[in-house]
Amino acid sequence: MATIDFWGPYFFDMGAQGLPTGGAKTVSFAPVSTFDGTVTATAHPDTTSPSGTAHDKTAVWAQEAYIQNIPHVQGDLVSHEYVLWVTMTNTGAATVRYITLWISLVKP
């Protein structure tokens, strides 16, 4: 039976200017000991604009989640460092200041 691990929430402040429509932000998580399964990332925008006014036209897409394997060779020994990269893209009609990110790992 598969097991599911959930990581998060991770909170990101895009700064006073916010993340504009079409803008993207890439974040990484490392080192992680293993990634033997399927990784998904879900980004949730806050509905408060950088100016502090509320609106409902925000949308953020966790566009890309991938795992980088960095081998470290020391003589006959090889160890691996795994890095998770996630790109969050603002696909809504309004600038986003705060984003909450959740990551899940489904293992066989």
Q: Taking Cα atoms as reference points, which of 85, 33, 20 lies closest to residue 59?
A: 20
pLDDT tens for the chain, 108 residues long, are 888 888 899 999 999 899 999 999 999 988 776 667 788 899 998 876 666 666 667 788 888 888 888 888 999 999 888 888 999 999 988 888 899 999 988 887
Tell me the pTM: 0.80
